[in-house]
Structure 1
Amino acid sequence: MKNIVSCGTVKEGELLDQNYWNEKWLNQKIGWDIGFVSPAIASYFKKIADKNIRILIPGCGNAYEAEFLLEEGFTDISIIDISPKACDILNKKFKNNKEIKIFSEDFFQHEGNYDFIIEQTFFCAIPTINRNQYAKKTAELLAENGKIIGLLFNRNFEQKGPPFGGSSAEYQFIFKKYFEIIKMEESVKSISERQGMELFINLQKLT
């Protein structure tokens, strides 16, 4: 079975910076990559009629979500990855798609205004001490009534990470300062290898 969880264990003193993630891409150690858009995310966006909403996908990797959104007719999709190698792949993949903007940068330095942020194995790549920073940054990037839609791991991991796991109670404590938690419950549309290990989230920015 393909390893779809582990990104490798962090060594003492190692930084999860651009070099760390670029090395993963250069060596194809991308265990988080499931090869297609998550069914839970696809199901949610299939129900949205407004195809002109502004969507951001941070830590996008191979950006299967962006491919799916294109197929569904969405017209304003921004994707970010800190790895130059990943972005090289993305620039080739989407070179003929004006609907997609690619940013090769640190998410926490990004500026913009969006209606939706898609969360798919990005939050779990951030050390737990920086999770409040993620919640604050996503709120800053979202327009009024903007939402985070996606998946979070509902489990802990034996290795030091990434990925870094957690629980609903931990996540609610982090996000409630910035978001109304519309939904945070066990995902019923997870892939088989992650059944019972993911939470589907629908978080709306507080006004």
Structure 2
Amino acid sequence: MNLSESFWENKYKTNKIGWDLGEVSPPLKTYFNQLTNKELKILIPGGGNSYEAEYLFNLGFKNVYVVDLAKSALTNIKERIPNFPDEQLILGNFFDLENEFDLIIEQTFFCAINPELRKKYASKMNDLLKSKGKLVGLLFDAKLNEDHPPFGGNKEEYISYFKEYFSIETMEKCYNSYHNRDEMELFVKFLKK
């Protein structure tokens, strides 16, 4: 299962981006609205068209970074937000990143990677977060595809990946999911140990 740069680029070029809501995800919007520290250094991995990055940027968060394998996705962000800093749109593999962040936002990235990489994902999140950093976002709580993204999972499985590195502050059924994801999402807030 090769989920390569060309795999994702082709998804954007052919507009096969069913995960793309065309707007900021409601649970994340609610979370962002209560953040007060505009200096937070925030990463959105596998961000795609990242309406989340746009929303945060427009709220005054200027240290927002997006990493994605698909150049088209990053170009789409730049076209929507011309003054978004180029150096904060990173074309590359999340697992190759070397930086530190206060907050990392999970939005359809975890379910897009090969499930064999999930332990590595948890470890890499730990590496990328500063002391007391947070990983916040949404994980699918549903059985989805087995041979192509999105890949599903459940709470027990997820805890097994993250408990080594994080205190699990919140991991509960989402009450305000986007309508086509009702009853399928967990809102998670993990604090780096």
1:78 alignment partner in structure 2: 65
Give yes or no for the alignment of 1:21 onto 2:5. no
- 1:98-117 equivalence runs, <5 A: 98=85, 101-117=88-104
Match of 1:43 among 25, 30, 41: 30
User: Displacement of 1:99 after TM fit?
Assistant: 9.2
Q: How many residues align?
A: 193
Runs in 1 of length 4+ with deviation above 4 angstroms?
Answer: none
Q: TM-score when scaled to structure 2?
A: 0.95
User: Displacement of 1:199 after TM fit?
Assistant: 0.2
- Tell me if the contact between 2:68 and 2:92 (Cα under 8 Å) persists in the aligned partners: yes
Would the alpha carbon gap of residues 39 and 100 (structure 1) be closer, same or farther in structure 2, given more than 3 Å must change? farther
Q: The residue matched to 2:168 in structure 1 has which SS?
A: strand
1:144 alignment partner in structure 2: 131
Q: The residue matched to 1:199 in structure 2 has which SS?
A: strand
Instruction: Give the % identical residues.
Output: 41
- Tell me if the contact between 1:76 and 1:99 (Cα under 8 Å) persists in the aligned partners: no
- Tell me if the contact between 2:78 and 2:84 (Cα under 8 Å) persists in the aligned partners: no
Cα shift readout 1:97-137 (whole Å, capped 9, x = no counterpart): 34971000011111111000000000000111110010011
Any gaps of 5 or more consecutive residues in structure 2? none
Any gaps of 5 or more consecutive residues in structure 1? 1-13
User: Displacement of 1:26 after TM fit?
Assistant: 1.1
Counterpart-to-counterpart distance in 1, 2:87 and 2:63 = 6
1:176 is aligned with what amino acid? K
